[in-house]
């Protein structure tokens, strides 16, 4: 379906870059992003009434105290 939308320049640029990386059309990327944004959000999982954080990806680095201190101190 064709329609005309008024999209901010920075948003259009981001969509075009994402489309190029994913080898899709800009329209397809916008449709996928809009569809995902319109889905109802899933409630957070809880354990004993406390929200459970999502698991980190298997290839993610474990945070160290050195990293925590650097981030805290803004180094």
28-40: per-residue pLDDT in tens? 999 999 999 998 8
Global pTM?
A: 0.55
pLDDT (0 to 100) of residue 20: 96
Residue 12 CB contacts under 8 Å (≥ 6 apart), including other chains: 26
Q: Considering only 4-18, 30-44, 51-65, which range has the smallest mean pLDDT? A: 51-65
Tell how far CA 23 is from the center of its chain: 18
Residues 22, 28, 30, 35: is their CA dihedral positive or negative? negative
- Cβ burial of 24 (10 Å; 0-12, 13-18, 19+) is middle
- Cβ burial of 58 (10 Å; 0-12, 13-18, 19+) is exposed
Q: Which domains does the chain have, with CATH numbers?
A: 1-40 (1.10.1220)
Residue 26 pLDDT more than 90? yes
């Amino acid at each position: 379906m064709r329609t005309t939308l008024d999209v901010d320049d920075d948003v259009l640029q981001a969509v075009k870059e994402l489309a190029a990386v994913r080898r899709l059309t800009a329209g397809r990327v916008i449709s996928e992003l809009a569809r995902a944004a319109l889905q109802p959000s899933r409630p957070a999982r809880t354990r004993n009434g406390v929200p459970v954080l999502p698991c980190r990806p298997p290839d993610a680095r474990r945070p160290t105290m050195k990293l925590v201190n650097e981030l805290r101190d803004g180094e």
